[in-house]
């Protein structure tokens, strides 16, 4: 379905479809139909009743606006949905209507419907994460030897490679998805406990019905109902928050590299993408902006979910009712962030010449550490540090290369041969373990 205009910077079309009114209602009805089938298999209700219930458990024809109004009055969607479904079944089969929602409670319906929706969302997020990880691996390999400024506290620092930077993004993304996927797996269990979480209404068949219900829905059966134990969903929420942060870090880096004064990388362009209503020349970091917006929203959503975990006894007052909009917003924020960054990385333009020019623009200042270490073993680190500080200031004030200033200092030329000094500002010769680190980050994790 189309994304609501107010949500157009908060989700993607596939995720908006998953959490649309029609989809949510169908998930609620899928629970009721699966419950009836499971109970019919075990002889708890007549097979004809299950058939009638399943036939009526289709979202088209339900008044969604009225269900929303009734949900507000009931405090749960399970009550009005069960009532309306019962009325529909009664119109088709009076006897079958007696067995709608048999032995379940309204939270069983709502929680399991949410899990079904999350299972659908998981597949969408998995696809976009796979795209992003593949694109980052290709980007890192392509630029394994592309030198660029390291930047610490936003200031020039010794060189790194763009391949290493991309590999860092890749590894964080991969770790983040592993966490999310694991938390999805943990959360994909049905909720089925009846009134107080004991399934007393079903006698000694409660567990058998629950297991059959789980099989019908393609979910796992938990050790026990989890009505007021929200830790698995909270862990999923937290994992999404962490991933949004990692994607936001990547987006922040790329958007800074896109600044006109830096101009080392740029997002892909296209009709209507990244432009300005008043400045035709603009090439704005739109994908990065969307990921950063998600990263800004996520911590508050995670915190809200965690605060809602404090739920009373066997059924919570307020905490459970807070969850649906929180967790669905968080999943959609994560999905938007990863889809946006996948698009960014797949079409990212990298300018190695500009990266090299920005290194050269420092006039060798970023290699002061290298010279200090070469002098330190003879002069002592503190003396060498002071000497390089003074040389750096003179280089900046006179706008001269650092090596030229150093070549005029007797203590320096006495220790460092002239031929070595002339090669001090070669970035390829001061990358340390960048190549090894990059390969380690890009390599698939060991199982």
122: Cβ–Cβ under 8 A, 6 or more apart, which residues?
Answer: 181, 184, 188
Look up residue 366 and give its DSSP letter: G
**End-to-end CA gap in the chain:** 39
Closest Cα partner for 36 from 120, 115, 94, 97? Answer: 97
d(CA 144, CA 147): 9
- Given the residues 151, 315, 354, 400, the one annotated as active site: 315
CA dihedral sign of residues 25, 27, 31, 32: positive
414 is catalytic: no
* Residue of 8, 276, 307, 377 marked active site: 276
Residue given tokens 């567990």 in the structure block: 207
Residues in the chain: 447
Which segments of 159-230 does DSSP mark as H helices, in order?
A: 162-187, 206-217
Give per-residue burial for 415-447: e unless 16+ CB within 10 Å, then b: bbeeeebeebbebeebbeebeebbbebbeeeee
Tell me, yes or no, if 276 is annotated catalytic: yes
How far is Cα of residue 101 from the mean position of the Cα atoms in its chain? Answer: 36
Beta bridge partners of 265: 350
Q: What positions carry a catalytic annotation? A: 276, 315
């Amino acid at each position: 379905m189309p994304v609501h205009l107010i949500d157009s910077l908060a989700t993607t079309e596939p995720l908006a479809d998953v959490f649309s009114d029609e989809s949510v209602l169908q998930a609620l009805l899928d629970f009721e139909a699966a419950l009836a089938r499971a109970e019919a298999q075990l002889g708890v209700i007549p097979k004809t009743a299950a058939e009638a219930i399943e036939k009526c458990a289709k979202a088209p024809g339900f008044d969604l606006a009225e269900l929303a109004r009734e949900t507000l009055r009931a405090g749960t969607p399970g009550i009005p949905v069960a009532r309306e479904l019962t009325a529909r079944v009664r119109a088709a089969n009076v006897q079958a209507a007696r067995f709608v929602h048999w032995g379940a409670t309204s939270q069983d319906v709502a929680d399991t419907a949410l899990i079904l929706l999350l299972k659908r969302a998981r597949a969408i997020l998995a696809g976009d994460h796979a795209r992003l990880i593949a694109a980052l691996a290709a980007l890192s390999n392509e630029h394994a030897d592309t030198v660029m400024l390291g930047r610490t506290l936003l200031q020039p620092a010794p060189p790194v490679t763009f391949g290493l930077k991309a590999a860092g993004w890749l590894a964080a993304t991969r770790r983040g998805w592993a966490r999310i996927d694991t938390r999805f797996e943990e959360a994909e269990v049905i909720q089925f406990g009846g009134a107080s979480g004991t399934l007393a209404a079903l006698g000694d068949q409660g567990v058998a019905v629950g297991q059959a219900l789980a099989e019908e829905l393609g979910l796992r059966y938990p050790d026990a109902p989890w009505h007021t134990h929200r830790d698995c969903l909270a862990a999923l929420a937290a994992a999404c928050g962490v991933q949004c942060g990692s994607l936001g870090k990547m987006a922040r880096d790329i958007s800074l590299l896109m600044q006109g004064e830096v101009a080392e990388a740029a997002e892909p362009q296209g009709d209507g993408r990244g432009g300005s209503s008043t400045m035709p020349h603009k090439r704005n970091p739109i994908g990065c902006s969307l990921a950063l917006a998600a990263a800004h929203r996520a911590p508050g959503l995670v915190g809200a979910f965690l605060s809602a975990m404090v739920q009373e006894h066997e059924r919570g007052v307020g905490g459970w009712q807070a969850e649906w909009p929180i967790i669905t917003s968080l999943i959609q924020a994560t999905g938007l962030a990863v889809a946006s960054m996948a698009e960014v990385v797949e079409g990212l333009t990298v300018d190695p010449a500009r990266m090299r020019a920005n290194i050269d623009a420092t006039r060798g200042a970023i290699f002061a550490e290298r010279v200090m270490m070469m002098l330190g073993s003879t002069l002592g680190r503190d003396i060498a540090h002071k000497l390089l500080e003074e040389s750096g200031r003179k280089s900046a004030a006179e706008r001269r290369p650092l090596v030229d200033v150093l070549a005029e200092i007797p203590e320096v030329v006495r220790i460092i041969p002239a031929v070595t000094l002339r090669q001090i500002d070669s970035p390829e010769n001061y990358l340390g373990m960048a190549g090894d680190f990059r390969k380690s980050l890009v390599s698939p994790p060991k199982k």
